[in-house]
Structure 1
Amino acid sequence: MVDVGDEAPDFTAPIANGGVEEATLSDQATPVVLAFFPGAFTSVCTDELCTFRDRLGNFEDVGATVLGVSVDLPFALNEFRTQNDLSFGLVSDSDREIVDAYDVRMDFADLGVPGVAKRAVFVVDDDGEVSYRWVSDDPGVEPDYDAVREAAAAAASDTVEADGD
């Protein structure tokens, strides 16, 4: 499993951002908050991404880029963005390469739904390293948004200090 201090697995994947484009992790403004979620249009995932939406200014204040990541198709993710007024991009990992690279794949065996993302958050710093990791085996648990914001702020200040040296 990818852990704090590890190099973040880079990826290029479709991103739902009102249209459908390709996004590469290493091309994003850092720090990057990767918020993995099991599926669009589900209750806890909707609550989680709407909380990121409502707190987006807190992340933008420290220069962080927030990206949601799920195995949903980009067209579904665009509709999810529209219905929930999300202004950040949602990465489509329909081939499950990203969830596998970050080792956050799980099955909803009771529902017969294999290969979705665990609810997880990674913060990637300017050096491409993971500076924060939170992974839940319980899809009903949301992340500690304040801790994620603090981690993004710390990663951003490390970038500023490195640039200022």
Structure 2
Amino acid sequence: MAIEVGTEAPDFELKDNHGQAVKLSDFRGEKNVVLLFYPFAFTGVCTGELCALRDELPKFVNDDVQLLAVSNDSPFTLRVFGEKEGLEYPLLSDFWPHGEVSRAYGVFDEEKGCAVRGTFIIDKEGVVRWTVVNGLPDARDLNEYVKALENL
């Protein structure tokens, strides 16, 4: 079960696609965070979603907002994926311990061994203010993220 709106977002530290450590709490007091979990790099729906975010990046990475995309792929896979698709935002690896952060947010599918499509908008105080969780085959609507950010 995914964590609910009004809950303090679990802090975490994960390596990004360039080997840099990224902590959720680093953004506290500074930026709202769009935390997006996706199943796997190089798959059709995931690539489509992440490229759509790339194409609208100023809405999701700016002085007020930071996008963090998390999958259970290795950092090495994410580096190649990010380079191939021109993704200029952090791709975080929840590879080991496998799915630990995905589980903390309630979006890890134990049977498939990957995160489902969960998105959490976290305010500057670290509280979840909006969320959507879709099944593996169902892409999310980026316009919903934009509306939720406008309402913060």
Name the structure where helix makes up a greater proportion of residues.
1
Instruction: Tell whether the 8 Å contact from 1:62 to 1:152 is kept in structure 2 after alignment.
Output: no
- Report the equivalent of 1:160: none
Q: Does the residue aligned with 2:151 lie in a helix, a strand or coil?
A: helix
- Residue 121 of structure 1 corresponds to 119
Deviation at 1:99, TM superposition (A): 0.6
TM-score with structure 1 setting the length: 0.84
- Alignment-derived partner of residue 144 in structure 2: 147
| Alpha-carbon offset, residue 58 of structure 1 | 1.9
Residues 56 and 86 of structure 1, relative CA distance in 2, 3 Å threshold:
same
**Residue aligning to 1:12:** 13
Q: Which has the larger radius of gyration?
A: 1
With the length of structure 2 as denominator, give the TM-score of the two structures: 0.91
Structure 2's unaligned 5+ residue stretches are none
* One-letter amino acid of the counterpart of residue 32, structure 1: V
Write the deviation string for residues 119-145 of structure 1: whole angstroms up to 9, x where unpaired.
111001011000110001x21111121
Alignment deviations for residues 79-109 of structure 1 (CA, whole Å, 9 cap, x no partner):
10000000000110012111110010115x5
Q: What is the one-letter code of the residue matched to 1:101?
A: A
Identity value in percent: 37
- Structure 1's unaligned 5+ residue stretches are 156-165
Which residue does 1:33 correspond to in 2? 34
Measured on the aligned residues, the alpha-carbon RMSD in Å equals 1.4
Equivalent residue runs for 1:12-161 within 5 Å: 12-16=13-17, 19-28=18-27, 29-60=30-61, 63-94=64-95, 95=97, 96-107=99-110, 114-136=112-134, 138-155=135-152
